[in-house]
Amino acid sequence: MTDRRQRLGRWGEALAGQYLAGLGYTIVDQNVRSKYGEIDIIACQPDGTLVFVEVKTRRSTLFGPPEVSVNAVKKSHLRASIQSYLVDHPEFTGGYRLDVIAIQAGGDDQPPEIVHFENAIA
């Protein structure tokens, strides 16, 4: 991955974290790696629901909106990463879900567009 893409990804993840905090979520962890892949953000809703978040950020829509890049292989890796995390953290006994936050970077002084897909991957 190029440095430019890494910077864009980090920027998107930071923006997603701020967005979630603004909704009252507590950020539990970020960039959690397992042998199956990485979970971008792990947050907790005020009701105790643990929310695993995949963040996708794009500069343009040339290849479609950001969320289309969450394909079947990525979904499988995310599910396995979540199960691994839950095994390693038995203190989380409540419900959980997997969300996708798609961020389209704004251009020409336009704000970025944030679309939050709750329970996006069953």
At residue 94 the predicted structure's pLDDT band, cuts being 50, 70 and 90, is: confident
pLDDT interval class at 47 (50, 70, 90)? very high
Domain ranges within the chain, ordered by starting residue:
3-117
The DSSP 8-state label assigned to residue 26 in this structure reads E
Are 19 and 25 a contacting pair, CB within 8 Å? no
Architecture, CATH, for domain 3-117: 3-Layer(aba) Sandwich (3.40)
The mean of the pLDDT values for the chain is 92
Q: pLDDT per residue over 7-40, tens digit each?
A: 988 999 999 999 999 999 999 999 999 999 999 9
How far is Cα 46 from Cα 24, in angstroms, rounded to an integer?
6
Q: For the chain, how big is the Rg over CA atoms in Å? A: 14
